[in-house]
Amino acid sequence: MPRILLLLALLAPLSTAAMAQNQSANQRSGTDAEQKACTRDVTRHCRQLMDQGDLVILGCLKEHRAKLTKACNQVLVNHGQ
């Protein structure tokens, strides 16, 4: 489940390359509330992809946007996704 918690690191309005330089695998972005808002959605809609990396999970959430909880959808919107 650590990948779920790393998801919000991808939601920051930074390029992937900049994030790779500025964050280690153990650091997370987003507030605890933002992480909590999307954990259930990742588990529900993207469980089969959890071992394929955070960008894949973010893509999965975007593909399932119509099914996301309002809270998780708002996290994506707040971060320009």
CA distance 69 to 8: 15
Q: How many domains does the chain have?
A: 1
Q: Which domain, by its residues, includes 9? A: 2-78
For residues 9 and 54, is the Cβ–Cβ distance under 8 A? yes
Q: What single DSSP character describes residue 80?
A: T
pLDDT, tens digit only, all 81 positions of the chain: 555 555 655 554 444 444 444 443 433 456 889 889 999 999 999 999 988 877 888 899 999 999 999 999 999 999 899
| pTM reported for the whole predicted model | 0.63
CA distance 25 to 29: 11
Q: What single DSSP character describes residue 79?
A: T
